[in-house]
C-alpha cells in the first residue's frame, strides 16, 4: 500500500497528505467507550493529479484539503461504530467523494484502546480507490441485469423465495424472469470441511439502479436472510451475486462486471440458460450462456423445481 497509484494513462498520481487529524469519538464495542468516548486520529493521503492546479494557481482545479480535513473530523466525531475498520471505510468514503480524488490511503488510530498490555498505538490502515463512473451512474432507461441466488443453510428454498419476493417490490427493479431451482454441490477451498448442497437460481431483471446500488440491494437481501461472512466460500443462508448489468465490462475491487467467475460456474450458467436460452455473457471469457453451460456439464447440477418462486414470476 506504499506504492504509487496510477492514473488511467499510467502516470503516477500526486499526493496530498493530512496527518494527525483528531476528534473525540465514541467508537468501540465496550459500553464505557460509547458512554465516555476517547480521542481518535486519522492520517489521510489523497491521490490526485495536481498539474492543472499548479499551472493555474486555482483552488477550483484541485481538492481543498481544509474541506477534506473538516469532513474527516466530522466522521471521527460522528455516529459511533464498533470497529476501526468501519471507521476507516467511512473516512475513505468521504475523501473519495471529492471530485478528482482517484484513491485514498487512510490510517485511523485509537491511542487509548482498551488493551490489557502496554502499547503505543492501535491503527487500521486501508487504501480505497474511486469506483469507475460506469458503476455509479444510473442508466437513463431500464437495462437488463442478472442476479445469481444460492443458499445451503436453514431453509434455502424459503430464503431464495423471499429474496425473489423482495426483488419484485424493490424500487428501480422489475423482475422479468426467474430460472428453475437447481441443486448443486458446494465449491470448497482446499481442506475446507464438507457442506450441505446448495439450492441455486438466477433472476433476470430490468433496472434503473446504478450497478453499485444493485450490489447494495443484493447485500440488503443477504442481511435480511441472516447472512454472515465469517468464512470465504463458507456455508450461507443466502448469497446474491451481481452477474451482469447491461453490457458493462468493468474491473473494480468492489464490483467486477461481468462476475469474474460466472463463465465457469455451472450453478449460474445452467439456470441462466434455462431462463434465457439466447443469453450472452459479455467480457473476454464470455459467450453464449447455453454453450458455456454445456462446457461445464461435468459439474453436478440437478433440477429441483420449475415453478418455485411463487406468484408473479416473470
Q: Judge whether 110 counts as a catalytic residue.
A: yes
The three cell numbers locating residue 131: 469506483
Choose the catalytic residue: 47, 110, 161, 183.
110
Phi, psi of 210 (to 5 degrees): -65, 150
- For residue 61, give Cα distances in angstroms to 54, 56, 68, 240: 9, 8, 15, 41
Q: What DSSP state is assigned to residue 297?
A: T
Catalytic residues, by residue number, are: 110
Amino acid at each position: 500500500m506504499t506504492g504509487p497509484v496510477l492514473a488511467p494513462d499510467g502516470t503516477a498520481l500526486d499526493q496530498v497528505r493530512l496527518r494527525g487529524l483528531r476528534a473525540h469519538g465514541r467508537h468501540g464495542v465496550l459500553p464505557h467507550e460509547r458512554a465516555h468516548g476517547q480521542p481518535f486520529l486519522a492520517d489521510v493521503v489523497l491521490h490526485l493529479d495536481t498539474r492543472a492546479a499548479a499551472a493555474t494557481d486555482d483552488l477550483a482545479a484541485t481538492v481543498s484539503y481544509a474541506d477534506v480535513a473538516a469532513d474527516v473530523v466530522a466522521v471521527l466525531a460522528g455516529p459511533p461504530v464498533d470497529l476501526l475498520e468501519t471507521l476507516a471505510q467511512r473516512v475513505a468514503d468521504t475523501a473519495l467523494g471529492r471530485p478528482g480524488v482517484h484513491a485514498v490511503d487512510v490510517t485511523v488510530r485509537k491511542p487509548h484502546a482498551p488493551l490489557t498490555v502496554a502499547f503505543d498505538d492501535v491503527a487500521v490502515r486501508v487504501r480505497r480507490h474511486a469506483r469507475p463512473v460506469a458503476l455509479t451512474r444510473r442508466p437513463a432507461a431500464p437495462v437488463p441485469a442478472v442476479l445469481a441466488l444460492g443458499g445451503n443453510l436453514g431453509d434455502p428454498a424459503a430464503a431464495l423465495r423471499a429474496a425473489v419476493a423482495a426483488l419484485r417490490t424493490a424500487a428501480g427493479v422489475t423482475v422479468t424472469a426467474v430460472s428453475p431451482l437447481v441443486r448443486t454441490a458446494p465449491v470448497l477451498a482446499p481442506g475446507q470441511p464438507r457442506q450441505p448442497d446448495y439450492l441455486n437460481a438466477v433472476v433476470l431483471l430490468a433496472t434503473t439502479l446504478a450497478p453499485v446500488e444493485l450490489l447494495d440491494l443484493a447485500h440488503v437481501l443477504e442481511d435480511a436472510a441472516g447472512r454472515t461472512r465469517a468464512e470465504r466460500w463458507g456455508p450461507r443462508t443466502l448469497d446474491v451475486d451481481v452477474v451482469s448489468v447491461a453490457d458493462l465490462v468493468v474491473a473494480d475491487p468492489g464490483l467486477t462486471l461481468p462476475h469474474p467467475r460466472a463463465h465457469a460456474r455451472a450453478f449460474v450458467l445452467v439456470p441462466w440458460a434455462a431462463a434465457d436460452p439466447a443469453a450472452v455473457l459479455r467480457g473476454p471469457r464470455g459467450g453464449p450462456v447455453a454453450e458455456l453451460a454445456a462446457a461445464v456439464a461435468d459439474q453436478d447440477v440437478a433440477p429441483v423445481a420449475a415453478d418455485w418462486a411463487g406468484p408473479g414470476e416473470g
